[in-house]
């Protein structure tokens, strides 16, 4: 392996501690999370300051990092609570704070001067001049606007100091609004997207309508898209797994996966797949080729139609809007290993979804794609044979023809998706 070839950091979402552990175990170099307030995903489980400290201890023991998102746009009345929160974050061991609002940035510099600052994509940073300005404010990394192409990212990289890092989203949900700056949720649902409360009305089905320009009432344009409904604002999901070589050569320091609201299974699969692709690039460099099995892995998680976002297309050239009904549901997440397998090939698991003897399942372990086998034997913790495991979080033992390590995942192997 060529260890001299610089490989970008792989940064994964952590909506709670289970997801954090899945991300780090399956190959992420760092995770990003948020507290109970001041993060852009208020509906995630999120973390208390004490839990953030525990997450940092856990990650640091693995040689990995934790970044804390404080990237909402607080109003004046919220600053007393923000001050208290930032003061608490100062003692958690966080490796960086992700900020967007200049007021938050200034307060973070004053209260947590020892914690590096990363600039959130919410600022919509699109140029080298933007980056240089934020660097003067104490920012060490910029999360670029999602609307930039790879060529534009490389151009930014060429005109800023090497010490200023660049990060970009490479997988997950996209927003129809510019870098997440949207008022639609507040207007339609009374929930402010810029304060972490987005109701995602862009994903709603709007029915079938027509629009007409005021001075041309005879010229009417339908806005229906498919027999499944009208999703005129729902963006396709981003997936750059087939283009990791371009990402690695663009000058990005960190490749970011979206999804703090997604499942631990989603976090594990995405982290594992991009880890395999990055490790392959470290080995092969310009000879790198994408593996179709990686794409198949990412098809197994909940997602909308995939696209390459704006890395190769300008926003004006390609609206990147969904044509179908929305989510493609993920394979059933069946269980998580709670211990390594024994000498007889039996391993203990904690159940997440029902399955039975005779079902075909897959074992997902770090560094490889899913391995299929048929369930031949199940038993409870006392050794009593079972025909199925029907109860969530039920503990059981299953014989697996492959080595199992604590944290490995069992998932469905059939084409049927979870309802």
Per residue, what are the HEC states of the chain? CCCCCCCCEEEEECCCHHHHHHHHHCCCCEEEEEECCCCCCCCCCCECHHHHHHHHHHHHHCCCEEEEEECCCCCHHHHHHHHHHHHHHCCCCCCEEEECCHHHHHHHHHHCCCCCEEECHHHCCCCHHHHHHHHHCCEEEEECCCCCCHHHHHHHHHCCCCCCEEEEEEEECCCCCHHHCCCHHHHHHCCCHHHCCCCCHHHCCCCCCEEECCCCCCCEEECCCECCECCCCCECEEECHHHHHHHHHCCCCEEEECCCCCCHHHHHHHHHHHHHHHHHHHHHHHHCCCCHHHHHHHHCCCECCEECCCCCCCCCCCCCECCCCCCECCCCEEEEECCCCCCCCEEEEEECCCEECCCEEEEECCCCCCEEEECCCEECCCCCEECEECCCCCEEEEECCCCCCCCCEEEECCCCCCC
What pLDDT shows up at residue 175? 74
- Sorting pLDDT into bands at 50, 70 and 90, what band is 330? confident
The verdict on residue 196 lying in a domain is no
Percent of the chain residues past pLDDT 90, beyond the cut? 70
Crossing angle of helices 264-284 and 292-299, rounded to 10°:
170
The verdict on residue 302 lying in a domain is yes
**Burial classification of residue 91, based on how many CB atoms lie within 10 Å of its CB (0-12 exposed, 13-18 middle, 19 or more buried):** exposed
The verdict on residue 78 lying in a domain is yes
CA distance 115 to 123: 20
156 and 50 belong to one structural domain: yes
What pLDDT shows up at residue 4? 46
Structure tokens at 152: 């534009």
Return the minimum-mean-pLDDT range out of 45-49, 321-325, 380-384. Answer: 321-325
The verdict on residue 345 lying in a domain is yes
Mean pLDDT of 27-41: 91
54 and 168 belong to one structural domain: yes
Pairing of strands 388-389, 371-374: unpaired
Are 241 and 290 a contacting pair, CB within 8 Å? yes
72 and 148 belong to one structural domain: yes
CA distance 248 to 10: 11
What pLDDT shows up at residue 419? 30
Q: How many residues make up the chain in this entry?
A: 419
Assign residue 167 the CATH number of its domain.
3.20.20.70
38 and 134 belong to one structural domain: yes
298 and 367 belong to one structural domain: no
**Residue at token pair 């098809």:** 299
Assign residue 359 the CATH number of its domain.
2.40.30.10
Determine the structural domain holding residue 386 and report its residue range: 333-412
Q: Name which residue leads in pLDDT, 304 or 81.
A: 81
User: Is the pLDDT reported for residue 2 higher than 70?
Assistant: no
Final residue of a domain: which of 254, 272, 307? Answer: 307
291 and 151 belong to one structural domain: yes
The verdict on residue 127 lying in a domain is yes
Are 368 and 409 a contacting pair, CB within 8 Å? no
What pLDDT shows up at residue 174? 80
The verdict on residue 194 lying in a domain is no
Q: 214-244: b or e for each residue (b if 16 or more CB lie within 10 Å)? A: eeeeeeeeeeebeeebbbbbbbbbbbbbbbb
Measured in whole angstroms, the distance separating CA 62 from the mean position of its chain's CA atoms is 20
The verdict on residue 75 lying in a domain is yes
Any residues with CB less than 8 A from the CB of 326 and at least 6 apart, and which?
A: 203, 231, 234, 304
302 and 340 belong to one structural domain: no
303 and 338 belong to one structural domain: no
Q: Name which residue leads in pLDDT, 20 or 188.
A: 20
Comparing CA positions, the residue from 74, 73, 164 lying closest to residue 117 is: 164
Alpha carbon of 205 to those of 224, 229, 332: distances in Å?
10, 6, 26
Final residue of a domain: which of 307, 325, 342? Answer: 307
Are 121 and 144 a contacting pair, CB within 8 Å? yes
What pLDDT shows up at residue 416? 40
- Sorting pLDDT into bands at 50, 70 and 90, what band is 336? very high
Average pLDDT of the chain? 87
- Sorting pLDDT into bands at 50, 70 and 90, what band is 418? very low
348 and 292 belong to one structural domain: no
Mean pLDDT of 275-300: 95
- In this prediction the pTM is 0.86
Any residues with CB less than 8 A from the CB of 60 and at least 6 apart, and which?
A: 66, 93
C-alpha neighbours within 13 Å on the C-beta side of residue 156: 29
User: Is the pLDDT reported for residue 354 higher than 50?
Assistant: yes
24 and 120 belong to one structural domain: yes
Comparing CA positions, the residue from 97, 164, 177, 143 lying closest to residue 255 is: 143
90 and 145 belong to one structural domain: yes
16 and 132 belong to one structural domain: yes
What confidence tens digit (pLDDT) does each residue in 103-118 have? 999 999 999 999 999 9
Comparing CA positions, the residue from 17, 20, 38, 37 lying closest to residue 29 is: 20
Q: 148-158: b or e for each residue (b if 16 or more CB lie within 10 Å)? A: bbbebbbebbe
The verdict on residue 366 lying in a domain is yes
Count of structural domains within the chain: 2
């Amino acid at each position: 392996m060529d260890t001299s070839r610089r490989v970008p950091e792989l940064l994964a979402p952590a909506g709670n501690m289970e997801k954090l552990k899945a991300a780090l175990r399956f190959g992420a170099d760092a995770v990003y999370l948020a507290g109970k307030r001041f993060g852009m995903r208020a509906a995630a489980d999120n973390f208390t300051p004490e839990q953030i400290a525990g997450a940092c201890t856990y990650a640091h023991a693995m040689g990995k990092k934790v970044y804390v998102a404080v990237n909402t746009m607080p109003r004046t009345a919220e600053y007393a609570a923000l001050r208290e929160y930032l003061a608490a974050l100062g003692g958690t061991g966080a490796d960086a704070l992700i900020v967007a609002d200049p007021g938050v940035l200034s307060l973070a510099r004053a209260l947590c001067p020892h914690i590096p600052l990363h600039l959130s994509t919410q600022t919509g940073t699109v140029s080298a001049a933007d980056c240089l300005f934020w660097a003067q404010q104490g920012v060490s990394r910029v999360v670029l606007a999602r609307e930039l192409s790879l060529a534009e990212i490389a151009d930014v990289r060429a005109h800023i100091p090497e010490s200023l890092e660049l990060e970009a989203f490479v997988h997950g949900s996209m927003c129809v609004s510019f870098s997440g700056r949207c008022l639609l949720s507040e207007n339609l649902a009374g929930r402010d997207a810029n304060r972490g409360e987005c109701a995602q009305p862009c994903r709603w089905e709007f029915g079938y309508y027509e629009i007409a320009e005021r001075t041309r009432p005879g010229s009417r344009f339908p806005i229906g898209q498919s027999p499944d409904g009208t999703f005129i604002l729902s963006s396709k999901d981003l997936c750059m797994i087939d283009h990791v070589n371009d990402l690695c050569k663009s000058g990005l320091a960190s490749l970011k996966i979206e999804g703090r609201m997604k499942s631990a299974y989603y976090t594990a699969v995405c982290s594992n797949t991009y880890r395999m692709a990055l490790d392959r690039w470290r080995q092969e460099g310009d000879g790198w080729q994408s593996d179709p099995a990686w794409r198949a892995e990412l098809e197994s998680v909940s997602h909308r139609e995939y696209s390459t976002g704006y890395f190769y297309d300008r926003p004006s050239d390609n609206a990147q809007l969904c044509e179908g009904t929305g989510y493609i549901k993920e394979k059933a997440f069946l269980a998580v290993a709670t211990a390594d397998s024994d000498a007889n090939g039996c391993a203990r698991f904690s159940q997440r979804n029902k399955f039975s003897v005779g079902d075909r399942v897959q074992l997902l372990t770090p560094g490889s794609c899913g391995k299929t086998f048929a369930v031949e034997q199940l038993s409870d913790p006392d050794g009593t044979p079972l025909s199925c495991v029907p109860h969530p979080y039920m503990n059981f033992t299953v014989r697996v023809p492959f080595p199992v390590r604590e944290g490995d995942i069992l998932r469905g192997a059939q084409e049927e998706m979870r309802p």
